Copies of this chain bind each other. A is one copy, B any other.
Amino acid sequence: MISPEAIRVNGRPAREVSALERGLHYGDGLFETIACVRGGARLLEQHLRRLASGCARLGIAPIDPAAIAAEVREAAAESDRAIVKILVTRGPATARGYAASGEEQPTRVMLRYLWPEDDAALSEQGVRVRIASVRLGENPALAGLKHCNRLEQVLARRECADAGFGEALMFSSSGALISGTMSNVFIVQDSMLLTPCVDRCGVAGVMRAEVLATAAAAGIRVEERRLDGDDLERSQELFLTNALMGIRPAREVAGRSLVPGTLTRHLQAQLAARLSSAADGSEDAHR
């Protein structure tokens, strides 16, 4: 059993939320998972921007970014390495049924977890990746959002709970490669870096955007496009990204062995430098 070290609800230490939560009844909310390293919250501004944009798209009342930033920074300062999750829902229901009344007061939950031990080794050696049989439904109205309707991911994770796989790749209902269950995916084809579009399903990951920017800054040819199973089979390198793992190479995909390649290693180094300098700047700015 892995429990959070701290939980706050609407800024106060608490263990519970209302049983009327629309988050509970409909998954009517959004979340961010933030890597806290050396006392700082990595890519915090990017997380807050995505959260605000998600609230706008779902019609959830605007968040107070300064309040959330203060809460996350306080949580980050309390340990050397921690994972902070911020969940924002539309709040307790003010009526019965799906329709929001517009009178809801959003609920914010903050959870801080210890960072697991084994991450560095996985970034070095790479992980085994399989293909999930569960597919992602396509819905442009929800695509890109890190919302709380995550049953597809829950079911996909069930499939690979037993074996030594670090992640499962998910295809959409129309056969496009989209992402891992908890990560975005990049492939290398002939020195070109490719990642799936997330305009029909999938999450527009904060680290995905950071890797795209890092690659562009490093002069690497990079493109978001629709990818399919053939693209996956033709990939010479493949790596996964999320806010916690940064870039995690695959050493096996769907039974095929892969070696974390030169482009992956180059990008890992460039990203580490970029995140390190951003963290320094952010710490200067906030202290």
Chain A residues within CB distance 8 Å of chain B: 1-4, 7, 9, 14-29, 31, 58-59, 83, 85, 87, 89, 94-101, 103, 109, 111, 113, 134-139, 141-142, 147-158, 161, 173-174, 181-182, 200-201
Contacts and interface: CB of A to CB of B under 8 A. Distances in A.
Contact of A19 (B14, B134, B152, B181): B14
A136 B135 contact: no
A108 to B, nearest CB: 11
Contacts of A21: 17, 24
B157 A109 contact: no
A3 B19 CA distance: 11
A100 B9 contact: no
Nearest to A149: B149
A26 B150 contact: yes
- Dominant secondary structure at the A interface: loop
A87 B26 CA distance: 11
A286 to B, nearest CB: 26
Nearest to A110: B19
A30 to B, nearest CB: 10
Given A24-B21, A137-B138, A157 B97 contact: yes
Contact of A27 (B9, B16, B149, B173): B149
A139 B100 CA distance: 25
13 contacts: A23-B23, A25-B148, A25-B150, A26-B149, A26-B154, A58-B155, A98-B157, A136-B137, A137-B139, A138-B173, A141-B155, A149-B150, A173-B173
Nearest to A150: B26
A3 B92 CA distance: 10
What number of copies of this chain does the assembly contain?
2
Contacts of A96: 2, 4, 83, 85, 113
B16 A148 contact: no
A209 B170 CA distance: 33
Contacts of A95: 1-2
Nearest to A99: B157
Contacts of A154: 22, 26, 28, 58, 98-100
A21 B181 CA distance: 20
A59 B149 CA distance: 17
A94 B157 contact: no
